[in-house]
Amino acid sequence: MKKDFLEQIAGKSAKWIGSPHSLIFHSALFLCFFLAGFFGFAWSSVLLVLTTIVSLEAIYLSIFIQMSVNRNTESLLLVEEDIGEIQEDIDEIQEDVDEIQEDVVEITEEENHKILELKVLEHIEQTLTRLQEDITILKKNK
């Protein structure tokens, strides 16, 4: 729970640091430090405090950035796993489609064979019918 809370703070901080509000805030803060030097504060003290603040901020900023990178990396790994599973599903579906295609080809071949058999039978029937007619005619002529 503490880790989640810290991650939330880090995420919100990193998001805020990358915002226009942060740019305005930091610009105003730096301007105040420089104005302090012009209004009588010792430049060495002003620059010492400013340098210390900037150094600490840079350290925390790099930590926030690394935490964001780590979160994004974890997220990408999960996406990669999902993509792998989807690819496996696609492969299985492709195998099913291939099997269905083979079945369609077999059924088509069987239907074509049946159609051919029917045509042959029709031809035989027509031939037999003609032969019967010829026989009938020959019997009458006898």
Q: What is the pLDDT of residues 38-65, one digit of tens each?
A: 898 999 999 999 999 999 989 988 888 8
Sign of CA dihedral 14, 18, 21, 27: positive
Residue type for position 27: S
Contacts (Cβ under 8 Å, ≥6 apart) of 30: 50
CB atoms within 10 A of CB 54: 15
pLDDT recorded at residue 18: 83
pLDDT recorded at residue 32: 92
Only one residue has tokens 């600490």, namely 56
pLDDT recorded at residue 1: 60
CB atoms within 10 A of CB 26: 13
Q: Look at residues 25, 138, 9, 2 and name the one whose alpha carbon lies nearest to residue 63.
A: 9
pLDDT recorded at residue 2: 65
Q: Which carries the bigger pLDDT value, residue 126 or residue 65?
A: 126
Q: What tens digit of pLDDT does each residue of 62-117 get? A: 888 888 888 889 889 989 999 999 999 899 999 999 999 998 988 998 888 888 88
Burial class (CB in 10 A: 0-12, 13-18, 19+), 17: middle
For 61, the token pair is: 């900023």
Which pTM value belongs to this model? 0.53
Q: Look at residues 52, 67, 53, 89 and name the one whose alpha carbon lies nearest to residue 12.
A: 67
pLDDT recorded at residue 67: 84
pLDDT of 3 over the 80 cut? no
CB 33 within 8 A of CB 52: no
